[in-house]
Amino acid sequence: MPTRRWAPGTQCITKCEHTRPKPGELAFCKGDVVTILEACENKSWYRAKHHASGQEGLLAAGALREREALSADPKLSLMPWFHGKISGQEAVQQLQSARHPGDYVLCECGASHVAVGRCYGRTGLVSCQVEPLAALSLGLPPTAGWLLNLQHLTLGAQIGEGEFGAVLQGEYLGQKVAVKNIKCDVTAQAFLDETAVMTKVQHKNLVRLLGVILHQGLYIVMEHVSKVGQDPRVVGPGGSRAGGSGWGGSGAGPKGQGNLVNFLRTRGRALVNTPQLLQFSLHVAEGMEYLESKKLVHRDLAARNILVSEDLVAKVSDFGLAKAERKGLDSSRLPVKWTAPEALKHGKFSSKSDVWSFGVLLWEVFSYGRAPYPKMSLKEVSEAVEKGYRMEPPEGCPGSIHALMGSCWEAEPTRRPPFRKLAEKLARELRSAGASAPNGGQDTDGPALPRSQEP
């Protein structure tokens, strides 16, 4: 018998060979990797999933040892809603601390039944009932498609570094990927709570999350977006590195992932014309419109978190980890120059606070990557904005675009336009600018004006 119990989601190594299993048992060889799915009523057995074969079955606890790579974060769980054998009172306490209506907890109740509790509002109203295990359809993570196999991942050079870990280039099953390694347990668990939703979020202007791997903390595997010729490791003000602090595009070097700040700073007006600026802005607005339609809030929208692909498509990154990171950060570490007043003062993040940040991003784009609120300290910015100060337009910025920025910076959040309206306005501006733009002033690395397509 092991001296400790392994939680669902724990990765273990088999210590022996078991190639002739009985019905219901899992076959394995010595040194295979398995993931614990649940503890059986008989405490000396577990149900687990084999990483290589994908098969599930029972195996004895004595045949396992915990994978050493996970010893630093033993509490990290792919199923934080499963609490094993706890009392009814403990289950109610777990529900009363639930964050959202619809949250649930699951605990054991006999060999073939479980007790399922659900939260129906923020007033503490809960419901609990016993259901057959076979009748549940909770989308268990090991079969959900986003728990990836470490054996299929090849890591390459580091292409950036953010607040919570390094960003590495890699390959997964032959596909070029970017990999973020998070070693902070609180952030990793918060991110895992959101992963099942985030892997279903797919749009041409969002960096796609492919899945996660539990190894030395948490590996987050995502689409690799590359653009040749960035300025290496630009550092920006406002509490964030110009490369970003999340999982999408942290400070890539010349052959790594290129964010929009670096792209604009290294090219300037001579190579990037107004239609291209409008195109990038439209791409971001369309990506954010999609997130808004899914009721997802970014919380850290800025040009440093926009990646530019080789065919000049702008993609929003960090839209998942931004929420997870905020659980472990205090307000003094927020990106002040991009954050809406209500979010800074009261922690009220919403799509409307994302719209405020989008207005600052527009200013960054049309200033060709300058830091917003130039020559102002963070304290001066927060105080001035509270008193009604708004930035002047960058040099050469069309009046209509500065007016759009102003609409994003309305003090009352409800008066700010939705991203759908912003995208419609930018599309009209792009059509107008494209019709009258000269042939010069184009980026030579790719097409000057990629056409926006519906997702």
Catalytic residue numbers? Answer: 300
* Cβ-based neighbour number of residue 176 at 10 Å: 13
Is 180 flagged in the annotation as binding? yes
Residues 104 and 160: their CA atoms lie apart, in Å, by 37
8 Å CB contact between 426 and 408: no
Rounded Cα distance, 135 and 132, in Å: 5
Burial of 247 (0-12, 13-18, 19+ CB in 10 A): buried
| Nearest-angstrom CA–CA distance, 430 and 230 | 25
Residue 103: other Cβ atoms inside 10 A: 16
- Give the whole-angstrom CA distance, residue 242 versus residue 321: 16
Neighbouring residues of 286: CB distance < 8 A, sequence distance ≥ 6: 203, 204, 205, 419, 423, 452, 455
Q: H/E element holding 306? A: strand 306-308
Task: Tell me the CB-side half-sphere exposure of residue 280, using CA atoms within 13 A.
Answer: 31
Type and span of the H or E element at 115: strand 113-119
For residue 72 the two structure tokens come to: 């630093």
User: Residue 205 has which token pair?
Assistant: 């202007």
Q: Are strands 56-60 and 126-132 parallel, antiparallel or unpaired?
A: unpaired
Q: Among the residues of 294-418, which ranges form H helices? A: 321-326, 341-346, 351-366, 378-386, 399-408
Distance between CA 55 and CA 35 in Å, rounded? 11
CA distances from 190 to 97, 98, 147, 193 (A): 15, 13, 16, 5
Binding site, annotated residues for ATP = 180
Binding site, annotated residues = 180
